[in-house]
Structure 1
Amino acid sequence: MTLPPGLTLRPATVADAQTIQAQRDAMFTDMGSDVARVRASSAPSLAWLRGALTDGAYSGILIEMDGKVVAGAGVSWQMLPPSPRTLPTLRAYIQNVYVAPEQRGQGLARQLMEILLAECRARGVEQVSLHASDAGRPTYVKLGFVPTNEMRLTLEPS
């Protein structure tokens, strides 16, 4: 994988949690999420990110330009029981794929995804999932992702 000139790749650390959260907030805002809900989820999400980066439940990678993070992506590692589709208990959930608007169109999201998928393979993961935005869907389809029969129910807080 070769990044465009001037860009560098590095793993995310706990010190990057605030930056990852800012990208996450921008991602949800770009996808049309309610701004008040994005703001309400930001602090609890940041706390989760710090803990997950610390204990290894989340791994992230970042692309920088002149010392500033311009793109990133991560994976939450999940332990689930074996199933007919996959015997390994480790699964991967890709999230927080974000490229700053001024860096879009260079294939950075695809490069981030290829790195994360290589890590999944190295860990023996057979089942990788994600939720795609309309803008991201073509990239994921080209990488082999397909829609599934997953369903969702949102419960109201009690």
Structure 2
Amino acid sequence: MILPDGLTLRPATLADAELIQAQRDAMFTDMGSDVARVRASSAPSLEWLRGALANDTYSGILIERGEQVVAGAGVSWQMLPPSPRTVTPLRAYIQNVYVAPEQRGQGLARYLMQVLLAECRARGVEQVSLHASDAGKPTYIKLGFVSTNEMRLTLEPS
């Protein structure tokens, strides 16, 4: 796939941290997250994002129309022990996939995912995971993602 005319792709830099965080906040709000919780998590998330961009444990990509960023996505690089599902310790967790409402329906999320998956392959990653919104799930399924048996426990702060 190629980008529609007038759009360009570029890597995210540390200077883009606030913009990526704004997209992340919008993504969670669009998915119906409690607005107060989105606000409460925004500053600590931005701090984490700055650190991860600085130490290369997070890679982001952005699509621009002129000087305006209209879509973005990223991947957190994780080192975990090898297992029967993957003998390599490097794993990828895709996150922050966001397309501005006025740019949706053009395949931009799919394009971003294809770019990130190519980078995963280039780094030798065998296992890629993500959490999907209802809106994003059809795109991820078409790319080959499947539901897993992962479980979650949310602990209350002490």
TM range (shorter): over 0.9
**Structure 1 match to 2:12:** 12
Structure 2 CA distance for aligned equivalents of residues 51 and 5 of structure 1:
34
Structure 1 CA distance for aligned equivalents of residues 6 and 40 of structure 2:
35
**Structure 1 match to 2:23:** 23
SS at match of 2:24: helix
Q: How far off is 1:20 after superposition?
A: 0.2
Structure 2 CA distance for aligned equivalents of residues 6 and 22 of structure 1:
23
**Structure 2 match to 1:35:** 35
**Structure 1 match to 2:98:** 98
**Structure 2 match to 1:151:** 151
C-alpha RMSD over aligned residues: 0.4
Mapping of 1:5-154 within 5 angstroms? 5-154=5-154
Query: 1:37-91 CA deviation, whole Å, 9 max, x = no partner?
Result: 0000000000100000000000000000120100000000000000001000000
Structure 2 CA distance for aligned equivalents of residues 84 and 47 of structure 1:
34
Q: How far off is 1:2 after superposition?
A: 1.2
SS at match of 2:81: coil
2:44 counterpart letter in structure 1? P
Report how many aligned residue pairs link the two structures: 158
TM norm structure 1: 0.99
2:78 counterpart letter in structure 1? Q
1:107 counterpart letter in structure 2? G
Structure 2 CA distance for aligned equivalents of residues 139 and 40 of structure 1:
29
2:126 counterpart letter in structure 1? E
Structure 2 CA distance for aligned equivalents of residues 150 and 97 of structure 1:
21
Q: How far off is 1:118 after superposition?
A: 0.2
What percent identity do the matched residue pairs reach? 85
Structure 2 CA distance for aligned equivalents of residues 89 and 157 of structure 1:
30
| 4+ runs deviating over 4 angstroms | none
